[in-house]
């Protein structure tokens, strides 16, 4: 049920005619209360789409009643007209739901630099408002897809201790966190080319939501580094209805939010454009967490390594080369590298024979021990394939 797994929320997804294909391309997520607390994290790209600018402003008071989202057009780099279009989407949604426009966040995704067909978008908002239901979460998740091959949802619940991600169609007797995401390309830190809406029926204040969301994003979405490209539209929203009447322990709530974010982040990597390998880069033994993140990102962005792993070649020399470009604390003669559990590099030199490494499956784990401290971090990426090049060579055609 995605974003409608939590009580107090309705959603819908419709085809507004934004996409030439006629596929669903507009979604609404509505908070029915009694609470309207909300928090958000946005792209750190200095070039920001009009919907991001609008949503940054309206989230300032920590409250939202609804989110309107469209695929088929990013409304980014569209000038003053794009700002007007984002406002028009919020105002039309507000009119349909009888709320204030300043209570509506706007999210858009698609090709940069192309104006939205506003008449179709606003008509689609009316259609989506008419179809809102407690079962509309999946339709909403489908409507925000662009190059995604699958829609992405996750749910967690808690009654006392947070139980983490679970399967199932509805909320438990306690409280629930639900979420949906889109994203398959331009996946790099500072979020990714993604839109994420999280909902909860827990009774949680806006500051608590903000703290939980920022903690979760820092070690999930911000650690996805598929292709080193950062988007203009990235948005992660967390809305609380308070409909369960349960006020969870903040740490337990934060754990559940983290679980849903991690689930969705890994689904983004699994659906990355053209990918045939899902690569987990674990850096341990670092002098600081920042060192671990820096080394992990350098490895994740090394195109030679990504090509090697696509060809099922455990070329650990490319891992060491990537580490060597960073300012992290390490001794080159004490570096260890394991690939899928085989320590192919020990003390900065050859370890176990590389032909022991099985890369026939989709999952690849690269573990680096810097042997310089106790800090660690994980970065998620994927391989570089001809399919990725093909898809992105014709994206705007």
Fold of 278-393: Ubiquitin-like (UB roll) (3.10.20)
Q: What is the spatial distance between Cα 82 and Cα 103, in angstroms, rounded to a whole number?
A: 19
- CB-based contacts of 31, cutoff 8 Å, min separation 6: 8, 9, 38, 64, 65, 66, 199, 239, 240, 241
Whether pLDDT at 126 is above 90: yes
Map out the domains of the chain as residue ranges.
2-270, 278-393
Query: In this predicted structure, what is the pLDDT of residue 396?
Result: 53
Q: For this structure, is 93 an active site residue?
A: no
Q: Which long-range contacts (CB under 8 A, 24 or more apart) does 21-26 make?
A: 23/145, 24/139, 24/142, 24/143, 24/145, 25/70, 25/71, 25/72, 25/124, 25/143, 26/68, 26/69, 26/70, 26/71, 26/121, 26/124, 26/125, 26/127, 26/128, 26/143
Q: What is the spatial distance between Cα 4 and Cα 136, in angstroms, rounded to a whole number?
A: 7
Prediction pTM value: 0.89
Query: In this predicted structure, what is the pLDDT of residue 18?
Result: 95
Q: What is the spatial distance between Cα 241 and Cα 39, in angstroms, rounded to a whole number?
A: 12
> Nearest CA to 300 among 364, 374, 215, 233?
364
Q: Which of 193, 220, 232, 367 is catalytic?
A: 193
Residue 205 CB neighbours (<10 A) = 16
Query: In this predicted structure, what is the pLDDT of residue 232?
Result: 82
Fold of 2-270: 3.60.70
> Nearest CA to 379 among 184, 222, 154?
222
Whether pLDDT at 193 is above 70: no
DSSP H or E segment with residue 216? helix 206-219
Strand order in the sheet with 342-346: 349-350, 342-346, 336-339, 363-369, 278-286, 375-382
* pLDDT level of residue 173 (50, 70, 90 thresholds): low
Residue 190 Rama label (left phi>0; alpha psi -120 to 50; beta): left
Half-sphere CA count of 306, side-chain side, radius 13 A = 23
Average pLDDT over residues 181-194: 58
Whether pLDDT at 100 is above 60: yes
Percentage of residues of the chain with pLDDT beyond 90:
79
Whether pLDDT at 163 is above 90: no
Half-sphere CA count of 278, side-chain side, radius 13 A = 14
Determine contact, residues 370/341, Cβ cutoff 8 Å. Answer: no
Average pLDDT over residues 33-44: 95
**263-311 pLDDT tens trace:** 999 998 888 777 789 999 999 999 999 999 999 999 999 999 999 999 9
Specify the range with the lowest mean pLDDT, choosing from 121-125, 155-159, 373-377: 155-159
* 160: its two tokens: 């006392």
* pLDDT level of residue 227 (50, 70, 90 thresholds): low
Determine contact, residues 37/205, Cβ cutoff 8 Å. Answer: yes
């Amino acid at each position: 049920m995605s974003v409608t797994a939590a009580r107090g929320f309705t959603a819908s997804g419709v085809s507004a005619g934004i996409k030439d294909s006629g596929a669903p391309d507009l979604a609404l997520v509505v908070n029915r209360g009694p609470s309207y607390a909300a928090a958000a994290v946005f792209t750190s790209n200095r070039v920001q789409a009009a919907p991001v600018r609008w949503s940054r402003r309206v989230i300032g008071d920590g409250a939202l009643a609804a989110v309107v989202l469209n695929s088929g057009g990013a409304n980014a780099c569209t000038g003053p007209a794009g700002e007007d279009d984002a406002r028009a989407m919020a105002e039309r949604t507000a009119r349909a739901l009888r709320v204030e426009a300043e209570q509506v966040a706007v999210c858009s995704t698609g090709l940069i630099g192309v104006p939205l067909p506003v008449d179709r978008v606003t008509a689609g908002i009316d259609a989506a408002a008419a179809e809102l239901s407690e079962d509309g979460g999946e339709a909403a998740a489908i409507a925000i897809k662009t190059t995604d091959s699958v829609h992405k949802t996750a749910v967690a619940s808690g009654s006392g201790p947070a139980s983490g991600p679970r399967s199932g169609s509805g909320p438990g007797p306690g409280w629930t966190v639900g979420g949906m995401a889109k994203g398959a390309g331009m996946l790099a830190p500072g979020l990714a080319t993604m839109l994420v809406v999280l909902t909860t029926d827990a009774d949680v204040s806006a500051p608590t939501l903000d703290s939980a969301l920022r903690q979760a994003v820092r070690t999930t979405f911000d650690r996805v580094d598929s292709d080193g490209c950062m988007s203009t539209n990235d948005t992660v929203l967390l809305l609380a209805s308070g409909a369960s009447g349960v006020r969870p322990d903040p740490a337990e709530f934060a754990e559940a939010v983290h679980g849903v974010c991690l689930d969705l982040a890994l689904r983004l990597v699994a659906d990355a454009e053209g990918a045939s390998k899902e690569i987990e880069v674990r850096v341990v033994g670092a002098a600081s967490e920042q060192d671990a993140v820096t080394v992990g990102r350098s490895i994740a962005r090394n195109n030679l390594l990504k090509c090697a792993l696509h060809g099922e070649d455990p070329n650990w020399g490319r891992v060491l080369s990537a580490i060597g470009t960073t300012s992290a604390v390490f001794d080159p003669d004490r570096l260890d590298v394991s690939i899928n559990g085989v320590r192919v590099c020990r003390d900065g030199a050859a370890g176990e024979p590389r032909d022991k490494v099985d890369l026939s499956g989709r999952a690849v784990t690269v573990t680096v021990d810097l042997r310089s401290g106790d800090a660690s971090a994980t970065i998620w990426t994927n391989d570089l394939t001809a399919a990725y090049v093909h898809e992105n060579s014709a994206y705007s055609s």
